[in-house]
């Protein structure tokens, strides 16, 4: 298989693992319409590069199957490197200004950015506004998706790659700012975090429930 063929397949496998959290070679092979043998070769190559790792999991009688997931280096594959500047800047602010200043600045930034989002997504049904926000987040470097909550009348918004995840590891208050941002953007909804990468999830997720309990139609 040529390198020109391998590169798109590797990127597709990494993207699938980013969204799924983990998967077997057979599951990835089915999604990419490849043989399991070819998929395993790609996974071993990605493992050698430090981008994925595997752990055996029993799924019934027989030989355990390897479940593959991204390593921290694999997650970094989706970043643009701008976090280094932001980390340095926040570190300088935290060291030189009174305690709580970083949080105050981030809270103000959440309100300002929410106003920008509100202007961009405009009015309309919750369905339309959530979809517009997801598109805006994608342009900012997030791997974001949304879907109706299968167990309720709201929406679930997931971010499988967060463009500020490395910053949040050192400044967890960033995640509070993100939650406040979504709440400011949807003042007519109850917004709660349902998944959090800093607590071991493979994505960050928010549940948006209309205050009236009814999901508006497009």
Segment-wise mean pLDDT, segments of 10 residues, the chain, 218 residues? 59 83 88 89 90 78 78 73 61 74 80 91 91 89 85 84 68 80 93 74 83 51
CB 51 within 8 A of CB 71: yes
Question: Among the three residues 16, 41, 76, which one is the final residue of a domain in this structure?
Answer: 76
pLDDT at 172: 74
pLDDT at 95: 75
pLDDT at 21: 81
Number of domains in the chain: 2
Q: What is the pTM of this model?
A: 0.57
Residues 115 and 192 occupy one common structural domain = yes
Contacts of 144 (CB under 8 A, 6+ apart): 134, 137, 138, 157, 158, 159, 160
| Residue 200 within any structural domain of the chain | yes
| Residue 89 within any structural domain of the chain | no
CATH of the domain at 154: 3.30.1380.20
**CA dist., res. 50 & res. 101, Å (int):** 38
Residues 112 and 49 occupy one common structural domain = no
pLDDT at 1: 46
pLDDT at 10: 84
CATH of the domain at 16: 1.10.10.10
Contacts of 170 (CB under 8 A, 6+ apart): 87, 90, 91
Q: Which domain holds residue 50?
A: 3-76
């Amino acid at each position: 298989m040529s390198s020109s063929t391998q590169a798109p397949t590797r990127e597709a496998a990494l993207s699938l693992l980013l969204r799924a959290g983990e998967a077997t070679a057979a599951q990835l092979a089915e999604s990419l319409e490849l043989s399991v043998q070819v998929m395993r070769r790609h996974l071993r190559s990605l493992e050698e590069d430090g981008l994925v790792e595997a752990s055996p999991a029993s799924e019934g009688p027989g030989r355990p199957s390897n479940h593959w997931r991204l390593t921290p280096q694999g997650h970094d594959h989706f970043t643009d490197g701008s976090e280094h500047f932001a980390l340095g800047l926040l570190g300088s602010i935290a060291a030189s200004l009174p305690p709580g200043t970083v949080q105050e600045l981030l809270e103000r930034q959440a309100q300002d950015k929410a106003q920008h989002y509100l202007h961009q997504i405009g009015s309309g049904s919750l369905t339309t506004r959530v979809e517009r926000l997801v598109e805006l987040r994608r342009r900012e470097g997030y791997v974001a998706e949304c879907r109706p909550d299968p167990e309720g009348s709201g929406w679930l918004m997931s971010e499988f790659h967060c463009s500020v995840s490395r910053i949040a590891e050192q400044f967890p208050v960033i995640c509070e700012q993100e939650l406040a941002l979504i709440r400011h953007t949807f003042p007519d909804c109850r917004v709660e975090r349902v998944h959090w990468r800093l607590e071991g999830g493979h994505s960050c997720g928010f549940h948006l429930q209309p205050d009236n309990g009814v999901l508006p139609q497009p």
